[in-house]
Amino acid sequence: MIDKRKNDHIYLASAPESQVGDSWLEDVVLIHKALPELDLEEVDTKADFLGRRISMPFIIGAMTGGTELAEKINTRLAKAAEEVGVPMYVGSQRIGILKPEARRSFEVVKQYAPSVPKIANLGAPQIARLPEGEILRWAEEAVAMIDAAALAVHLNPAQEVFQPEGEPYFKGVLDKLKFIKSALKVPLVVKEVGNGISREVAQALDGVADIIDVAGLGGTSFVAIEGLRAKPEAPQLYEVSEDFRTWGIPTAAAICEVRSAFKGPIIASGGIRSGLDGARALSLGADFFSASQPLLKAAMEDRVVEALRKIHMGLRTAMFLTGSANVEELKRAPKVLSPRLEGWLRQRGIIC
């Protein structure tokens, strides 16, 4: 059952129907600098992530594991991550903890990407119902499985509502996250899966999460994916999911929401489709950016290195054209926000 779900997610996420809404990143216009006073080759895109130097502030998003197809995808993603020098997440590891035969589909990541930081992954609804001793065992096992430098816990309440076999159990999650933070030796990343994190949630996570990944609206939608999965057996679930297709906080707004309340590093994700989108996200206050669906598609076609190089080139070009010699300068590059994004921030009392 869980194996089928993993493969359904891969196939449905690769289809255009899974891509919903707008990230609002085009509402951020970086100001062109006709006098960059730099040579393109001087632009330094490197960054530090979890104690290691990486080639650009980009992370391959959390996707999969648990099936033969997932193992093939994780192998291709890991080989490319190692070659290009970027970190990577894996998908939820519950299946690897409960089914020893599924472990290999995650372990390939430490085999093929030994030197880049890797991020383990568990879901909030699962940890909500486990006693603390079990949570620690799961967390330690997930980290060991891929030799991870951090553990991510994903918050996905909208997905759980529309998933036919969903587990919308979110009571007590914050306390469980606090427990993980106090007991686990590696840093804790808290992420959404495409509906975004607000200022209020970021406030609650301040001092609990070491890193927040905003995973906003505007790219892959698990409301859409689960709705489509539900359609044949539970048409009502599908119909209600249609009303919630664009539910969530657009990524550009989510970055500003989180930055206004959270002091730690922020990963921007959700509909980031180019190095230029990444540059816009960094100018809003993110420290890193991440994409999932485009790399899933690239992995299916065995061209992940090419996809990563394209993102790198886009980022480097945006840095050159704003006269930013390094990532810190890009974060301070002048920009103009569209009235739509400006209005959101004004109503929310956020300066971005």
Ligand X SMILES: Cc1cc2nc3c(=O)[nH]c(=O)nc-3n(C[C@H](O)[C@H](O)[C@H](O)COP(=O)(O)O)c2cc1C
**Cα 194 vs. chain centroid, distance in angstroms?**
8
Name which position in 103, 118, 181, 191 contacts ligand X (CB under 6 A). 191
Name which position in 219, 275, 278, 323 contacts ligand X (CB under 6 A). 219
Specify the stretch interacting with ligand X by CB under 6 A; choose among 52-60, 176-184, 286-294, 333-341: 286-294
Q: Which amino acid is at 340?
A: R
CA–CA dist 136, 183 (Å, integer) = 7
Binding status of residue 274 toward ligand X by CB under 6 A: no
Residue nearest to ligand X according to CB distances in the complex: 219
Contact 65, 91 (CB under 8 A): yes
Closest CB 126 distance from ligand X, rounded Å: 11
**How many residues interact with ligand X (rule CB under 6 A)?**
26
Name which position in 195, 198, 269, 322 contacts ligand X (CB under 6 A). 269
Q: φ, ψ for residue 258 (rounded to 5)? A: -70, -45
What's the burial of 13, exposed, middle or buried (CB within 10 Å: 0-12/13-18/19+)?
A: buried
Name which position in 67, 74, 92, 322 contacts ligand X (CB under 6 A). 92
CA–CA dist 61, 308 (Å, integer) = 12
The DSSP symbol for 29 reads: E
Binding status of residue 195 toward ligand X by CB under 6 A: no
Name which position in 13, 116, 189, 202 contacts ligand X (CB under 6 A). 13
Buried b (16+ CB within 10 A) or exposed e, 253-283: bbbbbbbbbbebbbbbbbbbbbbbbbbbbbb
Name which position in 149, 291, 319, 330 contacts ligand X (CB under 6 A). 291
4 annotated binding-site participant: no
CA–CA dist 260, 275 (Å, integer) = 24
DSSP alpha helices (H): ranges in the chain?
Answer: 2-14, 68-84, 94-98, 104-112, 124-128, 132-146, 157-162, 173-183, 199-205, 222-230, 235-243, 251-259, 275-283, 293-300, 304-321, 327-331, 339-347
Closest CB 187 distance from ligand X, rounded Å: 16
126 annotated binding-site participant: no
146 annotated binding-site participant: no
Nearest to 347 by CA among 258, 281, 270, 257: 257
Closest CB 233 distance from ligand X, rounded Å: 21
Which residues lie below 8 Å from residue 29, measured CB to CB, with a gap of 6+? 335, 336, 337, 338
236 annotated binding-site participant: no
Closest CB 73 distance from ligand X, rounded Å: 9
Specify the stretch interacting with ligand X by CB under 6 A; choose among 106-114, 136-144, 196-204, 287-295: 287-295
Name which position in 274, 292, 322, 324 contacts ligand X (CB under 6 A). 292
Length of the chain: 352
The residue with tokens 């959404």 is 192
Decide whether 43 or 214 has the Cβ nearer to ligand X.
Answer: 214
121 annotated binding-site participant: yes
Closest CB 221 distance from ligand X, rounded Å: 8
**Residues from 28 through 87 that contact ligand X (CB under 6 A):** 61-64
Name which position in 66, 87, 194, 265 contacts ligand X (CB under 6 A). 194
191 annotated binding-site participant: yes
C-beta neighbour count of 129 within 10 angstroms: 13
Name which position in 121, 163, 283, 324 contacts ligand X (CB under 6 A). 121
Known binding positions for substrate: 5-6, 92-94, 159
Known binding positions for FMN: 62-64, 92, 121, 191, 220, 271-273, 292-293
Residues of this chain that interact with ligand X (CB under 6 A) are 9-10, 13, 61-64, 91-92, 121, 152, 154, 191, 193-194, 215, 219-220, 269-272, 291-293, 296
Known binding positions for Mg(2+): 160
